[in-house]
Structure 1
């Protein structure tokens, strides 16, 4: 008998995040969370990595942003934004907070904004 190898993310936190995103999308009729779950479920080599400079370029002060991957610290940010992601480098977290912004995990953003209204996805 041959056993099948697991496909998809093996990290338990990532799997739990995907499951909760899909549940929130269905429960709140918010397709944005289903799309974020699909982006996170991609293979690891295609996982999204965004620098702080890109967030600075595509946001306005007070925006709420979802990064379905990791935020890295290259570049600078000069206005306060709320960033939700799977992970942050220490440098990225420091830069966002020092600009007056907030950082959080994607699941925290779902609790704060179940419908996903006025949320930008940066990929």
Structure 2
């Protein structure tokens, strides 16, 4: 028996709805990852972003970004939420930290994004 999961977070619901409306397989994968239960949602440290990103990349984290480690590259990071230290480190490196919903509005096709899980 399957049921449709309802989230109480209205921003998360709207973000998932917007991701499902796109025709991009990348955005559909992000929506699939966000539909997981909260205890299985992805948490990524800034050090992992630094390891896998190149200068100028657009990184999507379908979960939360935490501030452990250092970021030495200027990247755009889109996620559902950020810790305070992660926001500081991203902006100090010259990057941008935005919500996934904003990135979907800017880039409907999902071209040039890297999904870090």
TM-score by length of 1: 0.89
Match of residue 77 from structure 2? 83
| 1:36-51 → structure 2 map (5 Å cutoff) | 36-51=30-45
Q: Which has the larger radius of gyration?
A: 1
Match of residue 59 from structure 1? 53
Q: What secondary structure does 2:62 align onto?
A: strand
What is the CA–CA distance in structure 2 between the aligned matches of 1:93 and 1:104, rounded to whole Å? Answer: 10
Q: Deviations over 1:30-63 (max 9, x none)?
A: 1111110010010111000000000000000000
Q: Any gaps of 5 or more consecutive residues in structure 1? A: none
What is the CA–CA distance in structure 2 between the aligned matches of 1:22 and 1:7, rounded to whole Å? Answer: 15
Residues 116, 7 of structure 1: CA spacing in aligned structure 2 closer, same or farther, 3 A cutoff?
closer
What is the CA–CA distance in structure 2 between the aligned matches of 1:6 and 1:58, rounded to whole Å? Answer: 34
Query: How many aligned residue pairs are there?
Result: 115
What is the CA–CA distance in structure 2 between the aligned matches of 1:110 and 1:118, rounded to whole Å? Answer: 12
RMSD, aligned CA = 1.4
| 1:1-123 → structure 2 map (5 Å cutoff) | 7-23=5-21, 25=22, 29-123=23-117
TM-score by length of 2: 0.93
Measured after TM superposition, the shift of residue 9 of structure 1 is 2.6
What is the CA–CA distance in structure 2 between the aligned matches of 1:40 and 1:87, rounded to whole Å? Answer: 12
